[in-house]
Chains A and B, each alone.
Chain A
Amino acid sequence: MTLTLEQMRKDIAELIELDPSEVRDDDVLPDLGLDSLRLMRLVLAWEEAGLTADFGLFAEYSTLGEWWREVVLPAQAV
């Protein structure tokens, strides 16, 4: 199973109680209310969906666009 950008957007939006349209690629996620504990839950969920990626690596970036480009695409490319 492959994680998609839109699935990630939907998961994030649900966790911070926003509409997916309000989570744009370059919004700073901590400013939208995403904290490390919620990120942890996201990463755990995505790991269950088959992603192999480090929580810390997600945490180094602050936007969905960066996550997709810098973390998820390289991991899924392996």
Chain B
Amino acid sequence: MAAVAPAPVAARAHKLTEAQEGLWYAQALDPANPILNTGQYLDLRGPLDLPAMREALARTIAESQALHLRFRMGEDGPEQFLSPQGITPRIVDLRAHPDPEAEALARMRADSDRPLDLSAEPLAAFTLFILSPDRHLLYERIHHLAIDGYGMVLVTNRIGEHYGTLTGAGPVPMPLPPYQRAHDENDAWLASDRRAQAAEWWRAAMADLPEVTGPNPGRAVSGHRFIRESRWLPADIAASLEQVATRCKLGWPDVLTALTGAYLARWTGGDCVIGIPFMARMGRKIARLPCMAMNVLPHRIRPDEDMPLDDWLALEAATLREERRHGLYRSEYLRRDLGLVGGSRRLYGPLVNVQPFDRAPVFAGLTVGLHILGAGAVDDLTLTFRGDPQSGILFEVDANPALYTAHDIAGHSARLPEFLRAALAAPSLATVPTASPAEIAATEQVNATAHPVPDTTLTALIEAQMQATPDAPALSHGDQTLSFADLDRRSAALAAKLSALGAGPGGIVAVALERSLELPIALLAILRAGAAYLPLDPDHPAERIARILSRAQPAVVLSAPDLAALFAPGTPLLTTPDWPTTGAAPATPAAPDDLAYVIFTSGSTGEPKGVMVEHRAIVNRLLWMGAHYGIDASDRILQKTPASFDVSVWEFFLPMIVGAELVMAPPGAHRDPAAIAALIRRHAITTLHFVPSMLSAFLAAPASGGLALRRVFCSGEELTADHRDRFHQRITAELHNLYGPTEAAVDVSYWPAAPDDTANPVPIGWPVWNTVLEVLDDRMRPLPPGLAGNLYLGGVQLARGYLGRDDLTAERFIPDPHRPGQRLYAAGDLARRRPDGAVVYLGRSDHQVKIRGLRIELGEIEAAIMATGLARETVVLAREDNGGEKRLVAYLVPKADYAQGALAAKLADTLPAYMVPSAEIALSALPVTSNGKLDRKALPAPEFRAGGRAAETATEQLLARLFAEVLHLPRPATAEADFFALGGDSLSAVRLTLRIGQETGRDPGLGTIFEHPVLSAMAAAIEAHAQDDGLGPLILLADGDPDAAPLFLIHPAGGISWGYRHLARLIAPARRVWGVQHPGLDPQTALPENLDALAREYMQHILRLVPDGPVHLVGWSVGGIIAQALAVELAAVGRKAGLVALLDSYPADAWRNEPDPDPVAALRALLAIAGHDPNAHLDLDSREKVVAFLRAGETTLGALPDPVLDGITRLVTDTNRLVRGHYHRPMPGRLTHIRAALDHAGENLGADMWQPYAGEVEALAVPFLHPQMTSPEASAMIAPELVRRLDRY
């Protein structure tokens, strides 16, 4: 076919109309984006008159001038003009193609996906695909700048009209108007004062817009394609729609728009702004003109869901009418007027597009189907309804694939019709669930967790186990182990005493004990007396303990003598010395519905809440866990969770009911990664628990590397995908994410966070036995997957309620609206379901926060602040200002007697340490929003900064830097900065110790941080520590498996062995690596008689650590000479050396006949110790110069206090004496020599010099100089060689 040119052609260029501007800029920003190619095809069935179709296309193309538009950048901005080039409609005969329809669709897709050159090629294309004699597809593609949806309808209908005329079936159609009318209408609108009025109306109507988003958050900018799900609205829904519209005397499109908006509002907290495509042709001379004219009207929907449906629909329709009256004002301008341009700010979210005109056109003698391929950009979601209730409504969900998955849109496509069906039949929206019936049924499947569990008590299960395996180990603490028979005996004796003191079923006995053997005995004894146990944390303030005791009124309080001061006079204490050792368990068994324990959690009223858990609940939880994870008598479970935290319940009792061994961690060990790792290794722990933030610190600690155990459970706070992935990189074990509040017997859900799990976020997963998880909205209606709501828990594990607080119990334990007679617990957590039904935790929904697994009611802290009398008003927030770490900040309007910092001291008397805010900020008034609510966003971020002098000494400067790093401070801390006042907590303290360890090579110990939180004091303590430990005869260079034979690294000439820290860390944690240091570092200590005497002294230290097995020795330089001498001494006492490796050491014979080195030369050996090449610094020829050089560098040696440097200097000189006076004796076994191969040019030094002094010499070499042998680079080459040889022993 020939090209069809427009008639007539106007040569003049025009500015763009307002309607085109936005599109032009969108396309100019992304010229390669084809999404503005709007397209559709007609499926024509029947005998087509091909010549008539050709002519109909030619006539339509000729008279639709917009199709011939081109766009270019002119001097005053973009402009458009009509091209005389013409458009050639194409006819493609696919009759011979094996799959002509698929081929046609592929060609359409290829054409639509091609970005156009708007200045140089036609914006429109028409192709008729011949599939068969009776089937043709007519494809139309026009760029959005030239056409809008209604314009496409006009063009398409036009082809049909001409076809009708040409086949003799219809009259000659009225001519189409000229494109000039688009300019005329635009000019008229620009000149009209209605434009300014409309702008004003919209500004007022859209004031106070919420932050606009769609169902899925994210940056809503259209990509190059969209994804679609389409289906026909079921006929009954279309019929109801028409009925309701008629009943309300409204247009059905308005009813459909409003209800679709109500559905969308459900996804954004009941308030949304939808975009409504508006034809913008009504009453204008462009009504019949194919062109781009449409606008998008923002329409806010926040339904009053209690309002009768008809009233609400009428209100919506009235609003829509007003908006259409002002609908010519462009939304692009309104967006600008409202300051919503840029970033993620938006005027509207999803589009709701009801297209009653979008019906298949008429082609005489043919059956016609209409298929829309693309209608422009899809920024977010576009919900389109094409057709009308009589002829059927096609429902399309188009979505931006950057924001929505295919799963998401399939969900909306299936769910929205169900919502419409329910809403159209409902008295009000309040009764309409967002979840579809199919989704509600799927949730019921997930919650079908019924599983038989014996109706018994925890006590009965434990007693049965104690009977079954009396000789098996039940309980270990340190070196002590009790069998189940021991546990039986001791707990029975104490139970008898408790019973005698009045404890029994229905009663409570409190326990305040540090972790010890006595603690689990006490808990079991209480259960055996039939009472419920109430754990108290001995670290909590006496005042809080007193409040708990006054509410709980325990019959007895079990404690230890050193904790007695925690209790008020008159408390019925029974301390450990008074516990009996004999006696029979009383015959007062608890029933399954008696209480097993009462655990107090933080309460919003300022009063802790006692959660009462019955035997039946905890039995379900424990039997599930034992069965689900196959935990049995071969397991050893670590008890490290404080008893007042309900995770401890399974740690204590699961081993007792499956016959496993319970290993008690020492008090305080739960905060110390190195201690935990050592416990795991020492006791071959198979199962333990971490709060995720502690797991994170544990994974960061060197000691956790390479651990292997059966399973690790996490709960208490959110386990992140990062935690999971780091865990599996470092530790060989199963990882399980559990979730549950104290109010539902520890945990109610589980998720295996396996190495191949890629879920992010990590779900809390699936309900345990006899448990339901419900995600409901604020009206207790079920929610679909993907939509966040409140998490409710139900089933056998629910607690009885709060002790003595029926009011709070009634508030949180509510009747299940969907299961008559059952209760639900409102967890206070936000959650959503994944499509597979697994639940994902999203955070707290109320004023509770969780900090490191501890649930904190901010209200309780606020009540405590008010109780101090220092504040008139207060609010406490958990802020994440720095580095994503949550810290509590108290804001207060102070009373007269308040002084900065006064609060924390007072609060420490009444609140546990984890609840004392890290910062307090005094304000003259709390900021409020315009509607009088507290304006949380206006509360200033705290400056965790202390005044005072700047850090001075090297250690202080190091700490100043590390404080800032660990606490995310903007600048180094000052010398008077208090680590905890700056926002530090126990977790960041662990991090600080790790960092100090990395920087100095010495672990300062967590205790140092807690004892000396002020920077200058901490620095002094660390320095003192360095003198005590760092310069002692043995220092632990790197911690490792205590059960493996350790490696000893012998100091070089200066007497210190810190230089080995790189090497040590590459060998640990498979074994511990110790540095052996010269006792003469202390100037008060006499120097050794000779080298053999020194070796013998070292042997004494070493054998204390290695009572049997091989002793592994490595030494560099002089250290190697000593190592060889040590091996000789070991053999003399009947012990064997294992690995004896000498790093570039040579026998004394090589030096003996050399002239004495001068004192300065000896000093310069210090340079080598510090890692410098002494020959590169020949200018350093005096002690002062050497010391100054070392001080200037960032070496540990340079940071040493003067006396220590003096000691080293003394030893460097003295060691020369020792070596020259040493005569080697032969050692048995192999000597491994590692030569610094780049050194010793011109010197006749080699491994073979050791031949006379060893049973066998193995010679290795590495490409370094002698001074570099302990550098990180050399260590990286040497360590694997040493490890390979160590592994042979």
Interface residues of A (CB under 8 A from B): 28-31, 33-41, 54, 56-63
Known contacts A30-B283, A33-B324, A34-B282; can you find 9 more A-B pairs with CB under 8 A?
A35-B282, A36-B282, A40-B356, A40-B357, A56-B288, A57-B288, A59-B287, A60-B285, A63-B283
Query: A59, B281: Cβ atoms under 8 Å?
Result: yes
In angstroms, Cα B280 to Cα A25, docked, is: 22
In angstroms, Cα B283 to Cα A61, docked, is: 4
If the complex has contacts A30-B324, A59-B283, are A37 and B288 also in contact, measured as CB distance less than 8 A?
Answer: no
The CB with the most chain A CB atoms within 10 A, among B174, B254, B286, B321, is that of B321
**Is B478 engaged at the interface, CB distance under 8 Å to the other chain?**
no
B324: nearest residue on chain A (CB-CB)? A35
In angstroms, Cα B279 to Cα A28, docked, is: 17
B282 contact from A39, A41, A57, A63, Cβ within 8 A: A39
Q: Mark B714-729, 1 if CB is under 8 A from A, else 0.
A: 0000000000000000
Query: B174, A54: Cβ atoms under 8 Å?
Result: yes
B325 contact from A31, A36, A38, A40, Cβ within 8 A: A31
* Contacts of B303-326 to chain A: CB distance below 8 A: 321-322, 324-325
| A22 CB to nearest B CB, Å | 15
A-B contact pairs, 7 of them (CB 8 A): A30-B282, A33-B324, A33-B325, A34-B282, A36-B281, A57-B287, A60-B284
| B308 CB to nearest A CB, Å | 19
**Is B1231 engaged at the interface, CB distance under 8 Å to the other chain?**
no
In angstroms, Cα B283 to Cα A40, docked, is: 13
If the complex has contacts A41-B251, A57-B174, are A36 and B279 also in contact, measured as CB distance less than 8 A?
Answer: yes
B284 contact from A34, A40, A62, Cβ within 8 A: A62
Complex interface: chain A residues within 8 A of B288 (CB): 54, 56-57, 59-60
Query: A37, B253: Cβ atoms under 8 Å?
Result: yes
In angstroms, Cα B293 to Cα A59, docked, is: 14
**Is B762 engaged at the interface, CB distance under 8 Å to the other chain?**
no
| A32 CB to nearest B CB, Å | 8
Q: Mark B250-281, 1 if CB is under 8 A from A, else 0.
A: 01011000000000000000000000000101
**Is B152 engaged at the interface, CB distance under 8 Å to the other chain?**
no
If the complex has contacts A30-B324, A30-B325, A31-B325, are A37 and B285 also in contact, measured as CB distance less than 8 A?
Answer: no
A39: nearest residue on chain B (CB-CB)? B282
| B908 CB to nearest A CB, Å | 68
Complex interface: chain A residues within 8 A of B321 (CB): 33, 35
B251 contact from A38, A56, A57, A59, Cβ within 8 A: A38
A56: nearest residue on chain B (CB-CB)? B288
In angstroms, Cα B357 to Cα A39, docked, is: 12
> Count the B residues whose beta carbon is within 8 Å of the partner chain — how many?
21
If the complex has contacts A37-B253, A59-B288, are A28 and B283 also in contact, measured as CB distance less than 8 A?
Answer: yes
| B357 CB to nearest A CB, Å | 8
B287 contact from A34, A35, A40, A56, Cβ within 8 A: A56
Complex interface: chain B residues within 8 A of A56 (CB): 154, 287-288
Complex interface: chain A residues within 8 A of B285 (CB): 60
The CB with the most chain A CB atoms within 10 A, among B154, B177, B286, B325, is that of B325
Complex interface: chain B residues within 8 A of A29 (CB): 283
In angstroms, Cα B321 to Cα A59, docked, is: 17
B252: nearest residue on chain A (CB-CB)? A37
A29: nearest residue on chain B (CB-CB)? B283
The CB with the most chain B CB atoms within 10 A, among A34, A35, A38, A41, is that of A35
Complex interface: chain B residues within 8 A of A54 (CB): 174, 288
In angstroms, Cα B253 to Cα A41, docked, is: 12
In angstroms, Cα B881 to Cα A47, docked, is: 68
A14: nearest residue on chain B (CB-CB)? B249
A63: nearest residue on chain B (CB-CB)? B283
Complex interface: chain A residues within 8 A of B154 (CB): 56
If the complex has contacts A30-B324, A59-B288, A60-B287, are A37 and B174 also in contact, measured as CB distance less than 8 A?
Answer: no
In angstroms, Cα B283 to Cα A30, docked, is: 7
| A63 CB to nearest B CB, Å | 8
In angstroms, Cα B356 to Cα A39, docked, is: 12
| B299 CB to nearest A CB, Å | 14
In angstroms, Cα B245 to Cα A38, docked, is: 13
| A43 CB to nearest B CB, Å | 12
The CB with the most chain B CB atoms within 10 A, among A37, A38, A39, A61, is that of A37
Complex interface: chain A residues within 8 A of B325 (CB): 30-31, 33
Complex interface: chain B residues within 8 A of A59 (CB): 281-284, 287-288
| 8 nearest CB pairs, A to B | A62-B283, A59-B287, A56-B288, A60-B287, A30-B283, A33-B321, A36-B282, A37-B251
